[in-house]
Amino acid sequence: MAAALLLTGAAVAAGAPAGVAATRPATAAAGCDSAQRAVAESLGVLVTRHGIPGAAAEFVDPRCGRREAARGVADLGTGRPMRAGDRLRIGSVSKTFTATVVVQLAAEGRIGLDSPVEHYLPGLIRGNGHDGRTTTVRQLLQHTSGLPDHMDALADVPVEQWRYRHFDAHELISMALRLPRPGGSWHYSTTNTLLAGLIVEKVTGRGIEAEVTRRIIHPLGLHDTYWPGDQTHIRGAHSRSYSALLPAPGPVDGTEWNMTLGGAGGALVSSPADMNRFHGALFGGRLLSARWLAEMTRTVPADPDRLWPGARYGLGLIATPLPCGGWWWGHAGTVPGGHRALGAVGPGGRTVALALNRVPATDRAEQDFRAVVDAALCAPDSSNGRDGTNPSKETP
């Protein structure tokens, strides 16, 4: 999808090896202290060098618990400090929630990952070179379907014409199918996830919002995570967001937005704490068995122009190499209103979740945003062995 409108991109819950907690508690705590300082410094770079109003992160280490860091302000009008506990729009991190439900249904024998989309949604993908009879559910979740992104259709439309309006998933899919077919074997498209959501509704009789809530949000106690529907405000304590898309000089408040345009692939509201709980539960075996998590972590190379160099994509999951060795798994998200989020789990079970209230405007700023993840997961005394999954492998 167009960069300006992007809605992006072993048992993790296990503790330290036997004896570590008893013999090295000071070392473990020192490692977490070091990570906390490194994360705070990285967040400071985003605020002071790149003009992000507010940046916050929470990371969780199995050995020494939960740590937070924040820099800047959550609200330019009041000067309220940014907090890692604030809610935000997480954009395409929503894709991992939706993909998890699809894979759960596959584990139950109700969806075939390699079944054609036509089997569930007859006649919906037809024309302009697209055919649901040759497009599989796996290809939707992996962004190898060759389908365009409906967000590209909005790129040249004045924002105020669509900022507050309701979009139906079928309407957005129709918009996408009228676009030229993208080139290449991998093309990031939120339209893929809208279709996956409709497949969930077809086989369960309940919308994707209800299934994600029933299967993930409620069981994990994700109290900050919800689907906003047509509500344009964010409930509860939250950071404001500042959009570069709105026609005015300087940062413009873009917090109020109707996110039905993202739907199953980009509408969720959450918090760094909830993102950490979700990724920890997913890779800790609470949501999927090892066999089906292996399906989610079968990857293909991603287009670096749509994500970033070195990234690979599984089923609703991004894999990215860490400078200290191993990979982090998770997803990033951006919404037009200006929030930027990322949730990741790294080797050794440490998780990190980030929140910005303005989207990085340059490639260097985006690199420094991802560098916060490296700071959290590669701090001294963090485990830098591989996490048991190899993103370069095409099969589990």
379 vs 209 pLDDT, higher one = 209
SS3 of 45, please?
helix
Split at pLDDT 50, 70, 90, the class of 2 is: very low
Counts of helices then strands in the chain (DSSP H, E): 13, 14
Model confidence pLDDT, tens digit, residues 58-76: 999 988 899 999 999 999 9
What does the mean pLDDT of the chain come to?
Answer: 90
Model confidence pLDDT, tens digit, residues 11-46: 222 222 222 233 345 566 777 888 899 999 999 999
What pLDDT, on a 0 to 100 scale, did the predictor assign at position 26? 56
CB 32 within 8 A of CB 380: no
Q: Which pair of tokens denotes residue 42?
A: 């990285």
Give the whole-angstrom CA distance, residue 13 versus residue 254. 36
CB 70 within 8 A of CB 285: no
Split at pLDDT 50, 70, 90, the class of 246 is: confident
Write the single-letter amino acid at 252.
Answer: V
Length of the chain: 396
**What number of CA atoms fall less than 13 Å from residue 133's CA on the CB side?**
4
Long-range contacts of 252-256 (CB under 8 A, 24+ apart): 253/76, 253/77, 254/336, 254/337, 254/338, 255/337, 255/338, 256/164, 256/232, 256/337
**Please, what's the largest Cα pairwise distance for the chain?**
64
Active site residue 92: yes
Q: Which pair of tokens denotes residue 392?
A: 């370069």
Active-site residue identified among 34, 42, 92, 382 = 92
149 vs 10 pLDDT, higher one = 149
Nearest Cα to Cα of residue 105 among 6, 199, 182, 232: 199
Residue percentage of the chain with pLDDT more than 70: 89
The gap between the terminal CA atoms of the chain, to the nearest Å, is: 29
Write the single-letter amino acid at 156.
Answer: D
Give the whole-angstrom CA distance, residue 370 versus residue 90. 15
Nearest Cα to Cα of residue 370 among 45, 146, 96, 143: 45
Give the whole-angstrom CA distance, residue 371 versus residue 243. 22
What pLDDT, on a 0 to 100 scale, did the predictor assign at position 15? 28
Q: Which pair of tokens denotes residue 327?
A: 């990979």
Q: What is the pTM of this model?
A: 0.91
Model confidence pLDDT, tens digit, residues 99-146: 999 999 999 999 999 999 999 999 999 988 899 999 999 999 999 999
What pLDDT, on a 0 to 100 scale, did the predictor assign at position 5? 52
Give the whole-angstrom CA distance, residue 267 versus residue 264. 6
